[in-house]
Amino acid sequence: MIQLYNVSKIYSNGVKALNDVTLHVRKGEFVFLVGPSGAGKSSLIKIVFREELPSRGQALFSGKNIARLKGREIPHLRRKIGMVFQDFRLLPQKTAYENVAFAMQVVGAGKRAIRNRVPEVLAQVGLEEKTGMMPAQLSGGEQQRVCIARAIVNNPVMIIADEPTGNLDPDTSWELMNLFNEINSKGTTIVMATHAREIVDTMKKRVLSMTAGRITRDEEGGVYSNES
């Protein structure tokens, strides 16, 4: 699914965010990306999502070189990837329903398809009662559920979550983790950057640990950190 070969990223201000990263993520995997802030997790995500180009090395998604995508192919890459952010990034003036429907409008889905699919996903994330509410009326966990619904509504092959539980309490975080697990069990690849030590340690998934732009540990069924 994701193949990186010797990828380095040096920003124009000289910051070296990624240093010779080689990495494979296979279809259907659930991967935790851990490491301190500034270790390069976000840069890695940005390269896969084609927000940034690698300075060196090759990055492939589904066998296609991401850097060589033409401008009009980029949206189609992004439709295959559902994004979930720490800060949710919902449209504040739209209801939960409308926020999810928006993701379908953006890719040109028809009215009927939207009417059928949106309630279905909102039910899947457990928000069938709150479809008409504005983001401000929802709790953080509920807002994140809307984001997850929005991320999966177009049936992506992969979900990239950038610290999805960073703003949430432990109980809520666990509920969301169960949701991610469920989505993963249906075949969707999940890559999740996180600082939630307890979650990583408990879930026993593949863990990629980054430090200073390098992958320092790649462990199946790993824990957040080997120290202590």
Partner 1 sequence: MSLNTLGYYWREAFLSIFRNGWLSLASVGTVTISLLILGISVLLVMNAQAFTKSLESGVEIRVFLENGATREEIRDMEKELKKTPGVATVEFVSRDEALEEMRENLGDRKDILEGLEEDNPLPDAFKIKAEKANDVPALASQMEKLEKVDQVNYGRGIVEKLLAVIKWVRLAGGGLMVILGVAALLLISTTIRLSLFARRREIGIMKFLGATNWFVRFPFLLEGMILGFVGAAIASSVVYLGYVSLVNRLDEVLPFVTLVTDRQILLTVTGGLMGIGIVVGALGSAFSVRKYIQV
Judged by the rule CB under 8 A, the positions of this chain that interact with partner 1 are 49, 71-72, 74-79, 83, 89, 91, 102-103, 105-111, 114, 150, 154
| Least distance from partner 1 to the Cβ atom of residue 108, Å | 5
Nearest residue (CB) to partner 1, 31 versus 104: 104
Please spell the DSSP secondary structure of 136-187, one letter per residue. GGS-HHHHHHHHHHHHHTT--SEEEEESTTTTS-HHHHHHHHHHHHHHHHTT
Nearest residue (CB) to partner 1, 72 versus 171: 72
Q: How is residue 8 written in tokens?
A: 């380095």
Nearest residue (CB) to partner 1, 15 versus 106: 106
Nearest residue (CB) to partner 1, 5 versus 102: 102
| Least distance from partner 1 to the Cβ atom of residue 212, Å | 27
| Least distance from partner 1 to the Cβ atom of residue 97, Å | 15
| Least distance from partner 1 to the Cβ atom of residue 75, Å | 5
Chain length of the chain? 228
The Cα 204–Cα 197 span in angstroms is 11
Nearest residue (CB) to partner 1, 183 versus 200: 183
Q: Which of 228, 226, 168 is nearest to 35 (CA)?
A: 226
Amino acid identity of 226? Answer: N
Torsion of CA 79, 191, 90, 150, to 10 degrees: 50
Amino acid identity of 114? Answer: I
| Least distance from partner 1 to the Cβ atom of residue 210, Å | 22
